[in-house]
């Protein structure tokens, strides 16, 4: 048991070191994310001019949602895991995992956790720098049950995020270039994951439908719990159940693709 954990801990520390090498790149990315926040601020403040609330939420609540979204993106978002997996398949680097007692999913997940630890900490810097400007607008709810329900939602969101990226990466067993599929999926995820606008502002039937799709649980669900956009405890608990089902389904799909993909894979070279 400990020997197994030690293998993935080693992968985690290697991932930590290699991600720290690119800390400046992540910091630049975090910096530009706050430019996105400026766009959000300008657009939504113009939309709120003359409207005390939009969709029963104040301007402060909507801005808080977008700030939390950026932080959560850096904490759990799968940035380029799909691309890395794809490259390892295309270049034959996965051959080494076929010969060693290492589970490829476990290895990649360890690297993902280390990468998000670095980016999750780095995003706190621009948050702290901009906090004096933002603090008058941020509206955070004070109910402690939000943490009890929000943290498992956040953990499962990370699994959904990574699981989807893992599945897309494994498509390289069948396709030469998966970047098109990945960017196409990003467009769908950004809308149905609530990155472009809070999902609760969509027409009610579409919002209701989105709750049965995995994208809802990638980002919107935990952020909406933490920022107070979701208030019904029973609905949140039911959401956690649906999210757990999606985690099982996506991880199962990943395992299926891995097994089927390996049947097609040809390892060449010494």
Partner 1 sequence: MTLAHYARIWLTSARYSIVRTLMFRGDFFVWSLVELFWMTVNLLMVSVIYRHTDTVAGWSQYEMILLVGTSMLIQRFLMGFFWSSIFEMGRNIRSGNFDFFLAQPGNVMFMATTRKLDPDGLINSFVAGGVVIYAAHKLGLHPGFADLLCYAFLVFCGVVIHYSILVLSIAPAFWITSAQGIEGGYFTLSEFSRLPRQAFRGIANVAFVWVLPVVVVSNTPASTLIHGFKLPDVAWVAVIASVWFSAAVFVFQRGIRRYSSASS
Q: Would you tell me which residues interact with partner 1 (CB under 8 A)?
A: 22, 24-26, 28-29, 32, 35-36, 38-39, 42-43, 45-51, 54-55, 177, 180-181, 183-184, 187-188, 190-191, 196-197, 201-203
Residue the block writes with tokens 């520390």: 13
Which residue do the tokens 């959000």 mark? Answer: 40
SS3 143: coil
Please report how close the Cβ of residue 167 comes to partner 1 at its closest, in angstroms.
Answer: 17
Distances (CA, A) of 191 to 46, 218, 219, 226: 21, 11, 11, 20
C-beta separation of 58 from 139 below 8 A:
yes
Beta carbon nearer to partner 1, 161 or 195: 195
240 in Cβ contact with 154 (< 8 Å): no
Per DSSP, the residues of 154-169 read HHHHHHHHHHHHHHHH
Question: Which of 73/110 has CB closer to partner 1?
Answer: 73
Closest separation in Å from C-beta 87 to partner 1: 15
Nearer to partner 1, 8 or 181 (CB): 181
Q: Which of 46/268 has CB closer to partner 1? A: 46
The least distance separating partner 1 from the CB of residue 247, rounded to whole angstroms, comes to 26
The CB-of-202 to partner 1 minimum distance in angstroms stands at: 6
């Amino acid at each position: 048991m400990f020997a197994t954990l030690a293998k993935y801990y080693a992968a985690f520390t290697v991932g930590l070191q290699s991600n720290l090498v690119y800390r400046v790149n992540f910091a630049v990315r975090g910096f530009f994310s706050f430019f996105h926040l400026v766009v959000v601020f300008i657009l939504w403040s113009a939309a709120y001019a003359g409207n005390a609330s939009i969709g029963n939420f104040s301007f402060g609540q909507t801005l808080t949602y977008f700030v939390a979204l950026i932080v959560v993106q850096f904490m759990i978002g799968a940035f380029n895991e799909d691309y890395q997996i794809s490259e390892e398949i295309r270049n034959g680097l996965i051959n080494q995992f076929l010969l060693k007692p290492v589970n490829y999913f476990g290895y990649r997940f360890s690297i993902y956790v280390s990468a998000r630890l670095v980016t999750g900490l780095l995003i706190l810097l621009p948050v702290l720098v901009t906090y004096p400007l933002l603090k008058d607008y941020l509206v955070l709810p004070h109910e402690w049950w939000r943490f009890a329900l929000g943290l498992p939602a956040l953990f499962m969101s990370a699994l959904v995020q990574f699981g989807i990226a893992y599945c897309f990466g494994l498509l390289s067993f069948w396709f030469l270039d998966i970047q098109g599929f990945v960017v196409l999926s990003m467009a769908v995820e950004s809308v149905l994951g609530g990155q472009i606008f809070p999902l609760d502002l969509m027409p009610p039937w579409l919002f209701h439908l989105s709750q049965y799709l995995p994208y809802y649980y990638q980002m919107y669900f935990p952020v909406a719990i933490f920022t107070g956009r979701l208030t019904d405890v029973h609905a949140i608990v039911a959401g956690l159940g649906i999210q757990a089902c999606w985690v099982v389904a996506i991880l199962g799909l990943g395992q299926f693709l891995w097994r089927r993909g390996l049947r097609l894979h040809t390892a060449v070279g010494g």
